[in-house]
Amino acid sequence: MRPLSDTIARLSKLHARAPLPPPVDRLTPLSAFGANPGVLAAKVYVPTDLPDKAALVVVLHGCTQTAAGYDYASGWSRLAEEYGFVVLYPEQSRANNANLCFNWFVGDDIKRGQGEAKSIAEMIDAVCRQHPIDQRRVYITGLSAGGAMANVMLATYPELFAGGAIIAGLPYGVAGTIPEAFDRMRGHGIPTTSVMQRTLRDASQYHGPLPTVSVWHGTADRTVALANADAIVEQWMAAQNIVGPASVTNLQDGLARTAWKDGGGQVAIEQYRITGMSHGTPLDVSTGTENAAPFMVDVGVSSTRLIAHSWGLTPSFERRQPAKTAAPHDMAKGGPAPAAEHSTSGIQKVIEDALRAAGLMG
C-alpha cells in the first residue's frame, strides 16, 4: 500500500483537473425519484418521439465530470434522439466527493439497498414509471469511477439490467478505502479470482438471467491499470457460466474484441482493447455527435455507437442520417470536415465487416 502522502498528492492532482463546461445542456433534471440515500442528483433525456417499449440507458460520468459534460462528449442523447430511447444520468455532487467521483470504494454506497447504489436503482424505477420503458431493455455504462459504479449496479441489482458496458473501470468490491482505491487503480493488490467471484455472488440474492458485460480499456491507460479489465472479466466468468475458449476478433488496427460465450452459446462477456489509448472513453468525433474533452478521447472508434449497437438500440453504428450542419458555436469547437467523415465511415465498414465475419453481427 502506498503512503498517505502519495494518496493526498494524487487527490490534489485530480482535483486540479477542472471539467470543461459544455456549450449546451440537453438534459432535464429528474427530481423526487425516491428516498435518495446516496444524495445524488439525476438528469434525463427523453427523445421527441418516444416509442412504446423503449429502452433505457443509464450513463455514469467519471471523476471531475458532470452529466451534461459527459453527454456532450459521448453523444448519448443525440443517439437517443435518432433512435428513440431514454438516457438517464445519475450525477455526483462535491458534497459527496470533492472530485465528483462516484464512491465505488465506500462500503455503504456499494451495497444493495444502501447509499449511492440504492439512489441509482430508485432513479431507474422512477424513469420506468414515468415513461413507456420496456424493463427488459435497461442498460448501464460508465467511465472510470462511473465504470466501477456501473459494475456495482450490475453486481447488486443484476435483475434491473439486460447489459452493462464498463469503460476503464474496476471490479466490484475490491477496495474499501481511498488508499486501497488508488492501489487497485494502479493494478496493485487486486484480490484473487476466487475472492472476487465470491464477492460478486454475495452482492445480491438474485438467481435469474444475468446481464451481459462489456469491458473497454486502453492499453496506455496510466490512471486505471489494464489489469483491472482482465480482473472484471475474471470476476464475472463463473457467474456467467462461461463455456469454451474465448474468440478474438481484430476489428481494425488497434481495436481487438475478445468474446466469451455462456452454456447457451450466447456472448455473455466481451472485452475491447484499444491499442495506445490513454484513460478515457473512446470517441469518433467525425460522427458529428461526439466531442473530445478531458478523458473523452478521439481515437476514431465510437464506443457509444458500438455499445448501442451491441444492445440492439441501433441497426448499425453508422449514422442513420447525415448529421445536421453544425452551429457556428459548435464549428468553433472544431466540427468534422467532410473528408474526415468519409474516412471514418470506411473504418466503421471495416469494423462491421469483421463483426459479420465472426458471426457477431447480422
CA distance 223 to 200: 24
According to the model, what pLDDT value does residue 251 have? 82
Confidence of residue 6 (pLDDT cuts 50, 70, 90): low
Instruction: Give CA angle at 109 (105, 115), nearest 5°.
Output: 165
Whether 13 is covered by a domain: the verdict is: no
Whether 12 is covered by a domain: the verdict is: no
Whether 6 is covered by a domain: the verdict is: no
The Cα-based distances of 340 to 73, 142, 298 in angstroms read: 18, 27, 12
Residue 35 carries which side chain, given as an amino acid letter?
A: A
Whether 63 is covered by a domain: the verdict is: yes
Alpha helices for the chain (secondary structure H): 4-15, 67-74, 76-83, 115-130, 145-156, 178-186, 193-201, 227-237, 303-310, 328-332, 338-357
According to the model, what pLDDT value does residue 213 have? 99
Is a pLDDT exceeding 70 seen at residue 277? yes
Identify the three-state secondary structure at position 82: helix
Q: Check: CB of residue 153 under 8 Å from CB of residue 125.
A: no
Q: How many domains does the chain have?
A: 1
CATH of the domain at 124: 3.40.50.1820
Whether 9 is covered by a domain: the verdict is: no
Identify the three-state secondary structure at position 234: helix
C-alpha cell at 159: 435483475
> What pLDDT, in 10s, does the model give residues 149-158?
999 999 999 9
Whether 7 is covered by a domain: the verdict is: no
According to the model, what pLDDT value does residue 358 have? 44
C-alpha cell at 296: 473523452
More confident residue, 321 or 220: 220
> What pLDDT, in 10s, does the model give residues 141-185?
999 999 999 999 999 999 999 999 999 999 999 999 999 999 999
User: How many Cβ atoms sit within 10 Å of the Cβ of residue 332?
Assistant: 10
**Residue 204 is part of which domain span?**
27-357
CA distance 97 to 105: 12
Is a pLDDT exceeding 80 seen at residue 326? no
Whether 54 is covered by a domain: the verdict is: yes
According to the model, what pLDDT value does residue 46 have? 98
Burial 306-319 (b: 16+ CB within 10 A, else e): bbbbbbebbeebeb
Name the residues annotated as catalytic. Answer: 144
Question: Phi first, then psi: what are they for 262, rounded to 5°?
Answer: -90, -175
Percent of the chain clearing pLDDT 90 (strictly above)? 77
Q: Identify any residues that bridge with 69 across adjacent strands, giving them in sequence order.
A: none
> What pLDDT, in 10s, does the model give residues 210-268?
999 999 999 999 999 999 999 999 999 999 989 888 999 988 889 999 999 999 999 99
- Find the mean pLDDT for residues 104-116: 98
Confidence of residue 324 (pLDDT cuts 50, 70, 90): very low
> What pLDDT, in 10s, does the model give residues 38-90?
999 999 999 999 999 999 999 999 999 999 999 999 999 999 999 999 999 99
CA atoms within 13 A on the CB side of 15: 9
Whether 181 is covered by a domain: the verdict is: yes
